[in-house]
Structure 1
Amino acid sequence: MGRVQKLPYGKRFIELDLNKLGSVQLVEPNPVLNERDEEVIVREALEHPMGSISLKELTKGVKKILIITNDNTRPMPSKITIPAIIRSFYWDERYYDITILIANGLHREMREEEMREQFGEEICSKYRIVNHNASDRTQLFDFGRLSSGNVLWLNKLLVEHDLIISEGFIEPHFFAGYSGGRKSILPGVAGEETILHNHRPENIASPYATGANLDGNPIHKECQEAAKMGKLAFILNVALDRSKKIVGAFAGDPVKAHTCGCEYVKRMMSVAAKRTDIVITTNNGYPLDRNLYQVVKGIDTASKIVKEGGVIIVAAECMEKVGHKNFEDLILSCRSVEELHCKMSSPPSTADKWQVQILARALKKYKIILVSDGIDQALSEKLFLIHAVSIEEAVKKAFSIKGTGASVTVMPEGPVTIPVVNDEIRCLG
């Protein structure tokens, strides 16, 4: 393999000299050899939906249509997918009353300039775009109770429109199994009370609530039920390659299309790996590494293949620093990793507690070194992280902790990788 590895970092790459790591295991998905045009991939999926009639048929007798989309913490190629969805309607777009609802969940609302970057000028000028606000009860409607007892509060636009469509992209998700599909509804456009119940500590602690797993996953089960009760009728989900280009598209019934997409992503992103003393990873660059809150996903993926007592190095720009005030405050409220783990693993459920719970779980077992321009050493130490100003400094610190003969994994694409543990695999030299 090459001796210099590029690591995604913000909107650029940083280089890691593999010659200084000794014997190293490189864990990254195989490149997807797909030369088909992105728009063709999407159009073909929409023309041949799974388990559903086409959007052309679905839109025959309706007037008001709601399209639910991701916020800008996801690299969703909406400039391609939203126009393709609308071109699939029975009538010309001028016939319909179309609203685009941003599935912010408990994330902050998107600003106008961010909408223009995510959706493009044409979409922003043509259609009404609404930010979902989970804490604003005036936006919400009570859809009843889920089988778990959770009260299903969803954005009232779902009851004010004739047809509900969602778009999204599928990648491994560290506690919901995979992103996409039903997550557009819960947590995407759900109320705060509903999200907190779904993300409660006992659900996060379930051994089934983990990346690339849907079977027995209590969070996934509740989200899927919420999507059905919310009358989500049709989805378009895409799979992206390492350049964030569309390589697969899955349209149709929310369950069947999403399941097929998850199976595709699992095949595409699964890589055999053995546990090592040190794992060097990223959060796959912008927009996924825009803040530390999101970077927990990359840390959790690395935890799957680092030996207990080992070191995780994560390179993430964190242009928005920590990102979520609740997340930061919860960490800063504790004086030790032990206290953090104990408090975060216990009721009640509060905003962003789940993210801290997963971080605390990793901190309890491993040393975590953060390479970041956005978060300095003083703040890193308060967050129980070891700071490094460069990847070279981080590597030196890791070897000083584990010794010069420590085994090393490099996982360049972090949370979009599915490492499958096989301790019989030999490290590649």
Structure 2
Amino acid sequence: MGRVQKLPYGKSFIELDMDKLGNVQLIEPNCVVNEQDEEAIVREALEHPMGSLSLKELTKGAKKILIITNDNTRPMPSKVTIPAIIKSFYCDERYYDITILIANGLHREMREEEMREQFGEEICSKYRIMNHNASDRTQLVNLGRLSSGNILWLNRLLTEHDLIISEGFIEPHFFAGYSGGRKSILPGVAGEETILHNHRPENIASPYAAGATLDRNPIHQECQEAAKVANLAFILNVALDCNKKIVGAFAGDPVKAHAYGCEYVKRMMSVPAKRTDIVITTNNGYPLDRNLYQVVKGIDTASKIVKEGGVIIVVAECMEKVGHKKFEELILSCRSVEELYFKMSSPPSTADKWQVQILARALKKYKVILVSDGIDQALSERLFLIHAVSIEEAVKKAFALKGTGASVTVMPEGPVTIPVVNDEVRCLG
């Protein structure tokens, strides 16, 4: 084997022989390697917040403090960040009632063992940790209508605490522009009705509801307004390198710190690229490739640089198979990609419909080959995917569809790459 490219797969890698791909371009985000202590990066950000008083100042007079964090579908380094947040304001002479709220959105609740893995034993034993359940009306409070008309249902803990802090990490998000910041509130700790309105088909269909796009993005704008109404006071967001280590931290005002972090990530992850017949990508390994629901993000990123009628090969372990039950049921309820696309693009808004809408948009234009141990051939076919047991078989099938002279892109880190289409970029072949 000549030039070998490792493709993230679960907690390991699959090796791809680049020499067998012919006319190929490799696009990867700038891998900023962490050479500084993660704790030091976070501490520096907390000590010099953007557009905000420090947490030490903000917590004066506050007894009940709520820290909102990600669930385990995100590689958030909470073992580093949560202790740093608390240490930045904690004073032995004062009493604090601290609650950690997991922003599950419409994802399932985290299990106890998953919390220990995500947060560590010390945090789990020392602080109250609560799962947000968007479908449990007893957890929710109505905070009125947003300017879009959406009724803002949020977890009532936000109204029962003196200070609200959120943590998160920033990466391109396929319809909200970027993750982090305001997304801790909506969809993170919002009610199902509010999330469904925000993720409705007409919003998803907006040309501005796209990765690395905030300007005029209706989903981002509504989430930002929700965070303001919720009185989100302070955020700590981080950027991660290719090894999922912290390379940047942005703390302070929810709008200013998040905007600065998004610009940092944009510079780090933007790569010039040209459209090709075949795109080989991943969902950047565990935890993002744990199920097909999440893998839609990698497929959508690849769709930005594959030619019309082209082929997307996505490598993903899918240890949890399809993932969300409603997501699977929506796909299986349709007999063709055309029917799927039509139904998912039409009202009403229902749970997980947005994810199927984005998948259907890709399937309507491209063939998608899935390399996965978690989803077999029979299920793949029912999901309108082409199954391959290995990357070699997937490449063979792709060339059979597009011809032996087809141009190829390899994008190893999938959804954490921002491909900037430029037809002047030369291939490596």
Query: If the length of structure 2 is used for normalisation, what is the TM-score?
Result: 0.99
1:363-409 Cα shifts (integer Å, max 9, x gaps):
00000000001000000000000000111110000000001000000
Match of 2:115 in 1: 115
Match of 2:37 in 1: 37
Task: Give yes or no for contact 1:55–1:90 (8 Å, CA) kept in 2.
Answer: no
Match of 1:235 in 2: 235
Please state whether the residue corresponding to 2:207 is helix, strand or coil: coil
Task: Give yes or no for contact 1:150–1:198 (8 Å, CA) kept in 2.
Answer: yes
Q: Identify unmatched segments of 5+ residues in structure 1.
A: none
1:310-335 Cα shifts (integer Å, max 9, x gaps):
00000000000000000000000000
Residue correspondence of structure 1 range 153-192 to structure 2 within 5 A:
153-192=153-192
Q: In structure 2, do the counterparts of structure 1 residues 113 and 151 end up closer, same or farther at CA, with 3 Å as the change threshold?
A: same
What letter corresponds to residue 292 of structure 2 in structure 1? L
Tell me, yes or no, if structure 1 residue 401 matches structure 2 residue 404.
no
Residue correspondence of structure 1 range 16-31 to structure 2 within 5 A:
16-31=16-31
Shift of 1:274: 0.1
Match of 1:346 in 2: 346
1:319-366 Cα shifts (integer Å, max 9, x gaps):
000000000000000000000000000000000000000000000000
Work out the CA distance in 1 between the residues paired with 2:133 and 2:120.
22
Shift of 1:94: 7.3
What letter corresponds to residue 189 of structure 2 in structure 1? V
Match of 1:99 in 2: 99
Residue correspondence of structure 1 range 75-90 to structure 2 within 5 A:
75-90=75-90
Work out the CA distance in 2 between the residues paired with 1:93 and 1:290.
44
Please state whether the residue corresponding to 2:293 is helix, strand or coil: helix
Work out the CA distance in 2 between the residues paired with 1:93 and 1:38.
28
Count of matched residue pairs = 428
Work out the CA distance in 2 between the residues paired with 1:33 and 1:285.
18
What letter corresponds to residue 85 of structure 2 in structure 1? I
Residue correspondence of structure 1 range 120-269 to structure 2 within 5 A:
120-269=120-269
Work out the CA distance in 2 between the residues paired with 1:43 and 1:14.
36
Shift of 1:423: 1.1
Match of 1:360 in 2: 360
Task: Give yes or no for contact 1:313–1:369 (8 Å, CA) kept in 2.
Answer: yes
Please state whether the residue corresponding to 1:267 is helix, strand or coil: helix
What letter corresponds to residue 25 of structure 2 in structure 1? Q
Shift of 1:92: 3.3
Match of 1:273 in 2: 273
Task: Give yes or no for contact 1:86–1:93 (8 Å, CA) kept in 2.
Answer: no
Shift of 1:90: 4.7
Work out the CA distance in 1 between the residues paired with 2:380 and 2:300.
18
What letter corresponds to residue 149 of structure 1 in structure 2? G
Q: In structure 2, do the counterparts of structure 1 residues 30 and 93 end up closer, same or farther at CA, with 3 Å as the change threshold?
A: farther
Task: Give yes or no for contact 1:281–1:410 (8 Å, CA) kept in 2.
Answer: yes
Percent identity among equivalent residues? 90
Query: If the length of structure 1 is used for normalisation, what is the TM-score?
Result: 0.99
What letter corresponds to residue 78 of structure 1 in structure 2? S
Task: Give yes or no for contact 2:34–2:245 (8 Å, CA) kept in 1.
Answer: no
What letter corresponds to residue 357 of structure 1 in structure 2? Q
What letter corresponds to residue 178 of structure 1 in structure 2? Y
Task: Give yes or no for contact 2:320–2:374 (8 Å, CA) kept in 1.
Answer: yes
Work out the CA distance in 1 between the residues paired with 2:394 and 2:199.
33
Match of 2:387 in 1: 387
Work out the CA distance in 1 between the residues paired with 2:92 and 2:320.
40
Match of 2:422 in 1: 422
What letter corresponds to residue 69 of structure 1 in structure 2? T
Residue correspondence of structure 1 range 311-322 to structure 2 within 5 A:
311-322=311-322
Shift of 1:34: 3.8
Task: Give yes or no for contact 2:163–2:233 (8 Å, CA) kept in 1.
Answer: yes
1:156-184 Cα shifts (integer Å, max 9, x gaps):
00000000000000000000000000000
Q: In structure 2, do the counterparts of structure 1 residues 83 and 390 end up closer, same or farther at CA, with 3 Å as the change threshold?
A: same
Match of 2:410 in 1: 410
Please state whether the residue corresponding to 2:182 is helix, strand or coil: helix
